[in-house]
Amino acid sequence: MKYGIIILLFFSAHFSNAQADTTLYGWIDSTTYREVEVTAPFFGGIKVWEAYLKKQLKYPKAAKDNKIQGKVVIEFTIHINSTVSDLKVFKSVEKSLDEEALRLIRNGVWVPAIQNGRQVNYRARREIEFRLK
């Protein structure tokens, strides 16, 4: 009986620590998910997101003068209270374009993701395309 309890404690400790490798389970930490049932959209949906980008995107002068174009990919966490944090440039084009993409994400209005019927923190990625006309 004593050995059975020791083995049970060993396995329960082993499996509770297994969640430290979060990439296997679809979440970053105990409160942030990468995969959810309903992703965190921009408030108002895709059309509002596109209108927001069209209105708010300010093409940096240096990038425009040098004819720099491309897609910047930003990774960030959308929290339950609709705030964003932990912004990182996942795919860079040029520093001024990266900074503008970060600004757009930071100033946007996001809706929390849903997992198992409740709002959760969500690690998202968004592309922002910079094209000269």
* pTM beyond 0.85, yes or no: no
Q: What per-residue confidence (pLDDT) applies to 11?
A: 44
78 neighbors 121 (Cβ within 8 angstroms): yes
The CATH number for 46's domain is: 3.30.2420.10
Tens digit of pLDDT per residue, the chain (133 long)?
A: 554 444 444 444 444 433 333 444 444 555 787 888 888 788 989 999 999 999 999 999 999 999 999 999 999 999 999 999 999 999 999 999 999 999 999 999 999 999 889 999 999 999 999 999 8
Residue 95 lies in a domain: yes
Residues 6+ apart with CB under 8 A from 32: 77, 120, 121, 122, 123
Residue 35 lies in a domain: yes
Q: What per-residue confidence (pLDDT) applies to 29?
A: 55
Tally the domains of the chain: 1
Residue 61 lies in a domain: yes
